[in-house]
Amino acid sequence: METLFAAGAVLAFLLGFLALGVWVFVSLALVAFCALFFVGGMDADRVATIAANIIYRYSLGWELAAIPLFIWMGEILFRTDISTRLFRGLSPFVDQIPGRLLHTNVLGCTLFACVSGSSPATTATVGRITTAELIPRGYDRSITLGSLAGAGSLGLLIPPSIVMIVYGILAEQSISRLFAAGVIPGLMIAGFYSAFIMVRVALNPSIVPAERNTYRVRDFLNAIADLLPLFVLMAIVLGSIYSGVATPSEAAAVGVVGALAIVSVTGQFSLALMRETLMGAVKTSTMVCSILITAALLSTAMGYLHIPSDVARAIGALDLSPWTLLLVLSLFYLMLGFFLDGNSIVVMSLPIALPLILQAGFDPIWFGIYLVLMVEMAQVTPPVGFNLFVLQGMSGEHMSFLFWAAFPFFLLMVLGVVLLAIFPDIALWLPNYLYG
């Protein structure tokens, strides 16, 4: 009963602060203070001491360095002509398969996700050129925007991923193993998207224009030249991580240098670009790291109140099968996805969900990939679907139109989660192969 009261009080504090419009990281900190002071019965000095120790310890975590660096790398590429080069480079190759240039959404987002780590940034970077090119050429508006919304979410699953770094820090799991675990599921989901586009075109050829472009050998060589800088950057960042040469934080620093080298070679470097990218990176990384640190404070407060352990024991006493537990968690995460962004979902749910998962015998690396997939779904579900917001700003379409356009791709994510649950080696094979 005491645990039930404590959990209810924490939830009431959290919902109250969020309903008042208080920033998420401030809400998390205030909930932690209120929980320890009012529910835990601690005096103000002890609460302040606990808070100071947690904030100091997590602020100095070396793993946090990867977050602003990966965000800065994405900002540099986002504010240059990388999206134009991506579209130009992919066009000759995808124009030969059913669905034609619609696949530039899927492949473009897949490639940019390898150097971004952010779903909205991936959607915005690829979308600002593909929406301007595909719709005027006669490609169906619904599948163009829907495939972009779905493929943009790959920025969370294909490494480097900011959400994976957040999960790895909170769950105390290897970020390198998490990155490796996300590769095959990410490619699998991208394959589902492309296969769906092919099926849609086979059933309704009118969604793509009838006329075809003719490409010569020179066009393919120019396309490879457009894609080469991005492939080199991907090889440097991911290769250094998977080979063990660099940690994710060190690889992020190398990636920033590589991104700056690309914009310098292509003649786009300027002091204005540096100022804009640094300001963008500072704003975004400050938001993410603030949420992460205050979430650690809230997790500690819940630990002092024994909420995670008591809830885990209570649910364990229900003798739920692992599959039933996973189904309940999936419904829970779908509900959270209607209202919260990805980082908030992870930091708010993990203190309770992770002990349950471990108790049920699931691998924590596998659960990280499952959780990222659930967070991906939140990117395309209203009312708080960040990819939908990005696309609404680009296209001017109503949110309901964008949701129904993205709905088939949402279902493909559900299929991915089901397959991941049935065949966990989809996520675990590569990290076990690389790291034993």
Q: Higher pLDDT residue, 11 or 56?
A: 56
**pLDDT score recorded for residue 365:** 94
Q: At what angle do helices 24-34 and 2-19 cross, to 10 degrees?
A: 150
Least confident of 7-16, 259-268, 360-369: 7-16
**pLDDT score recorded for residue 422:** 93
**pLDDT score recorded for residue 196:** 94
Binned at pLDDT 50, 70 and 90, residue 77 comes out as confident
Whether the per-residue pLDDT at 383 is higher than 80: the answer is no
DSSP codes of every residue in 358-423: HHTT--HHHHHHHHHHHHHHHTTSSSS-HHHHHHHHHH---HHHHHHHHHHHHHHHHHHHHHHHH-
Average pLDDT in the chain:
83
The CB density around residue 374, as the number of other CB atoms within 10 Å, is: 23
Question: For 39, which DSSP code?
Answer: I
pTM: 0.79
Token pair listed for 161:
């991923």
Question: For 210, which DSSP code?
Answer: S
pLDDT tens, position by position, 126-182: 777 778 788 888 888 899 889 888 888 887 788 888 888 888 888 888 888 998 999
Q: Report in angstroms the alpha-carbon separations of 200 from 109, 203, 204, 236, 416.
A: 20, 5, 6, 36, 19
Whether the per-residue pLDDT at 348 is higher than 70: the answer is yes
**pLDDT score recorded for residue 332:** 80
Closest Cα to residue 69, out of 262, 235, 342, 251?
A: 251
Q: Can you say whether residue 396 is alpha, beta or left, with left for phi > 0 and alpha for psi between -120 and 50 degrees?
A: left
- pLDDT more than 70, % of the chain: 92
pLDDT tens, position by position, 41-70: 888 888 888 888 888 877 776 667 777 887
Query: What spatial distance separates the first Cα and last Cα of the chain, rounded to whole Å?
Result: 44
**pLDDT score recorded for residue 197:** 92
Distance CA 315, CA 43 (A): 32
DSSP codes of every residue in 8-28: HHHHHHHHHHHHTT--HHHHH
Cβ-contact 144, 201 below 8 angstroms:
no
Distance CA 263, CA 284 (A): 21
For the stretch 49-54, contacts whose Cβ atoms lie closer than 8 Å and that sit 24 or more positions apart, written own/partner, are 50/300, 50/301, 50/304, 51/297, 54/293, 54/296, 54/297, 54/300
User: How many CA atoms lie less than 13 Å away from 129 in the CB half-sphere?
Assistant: 22
Whether the per-residue pLDDT at 428 is higher than 90: the answer is yes
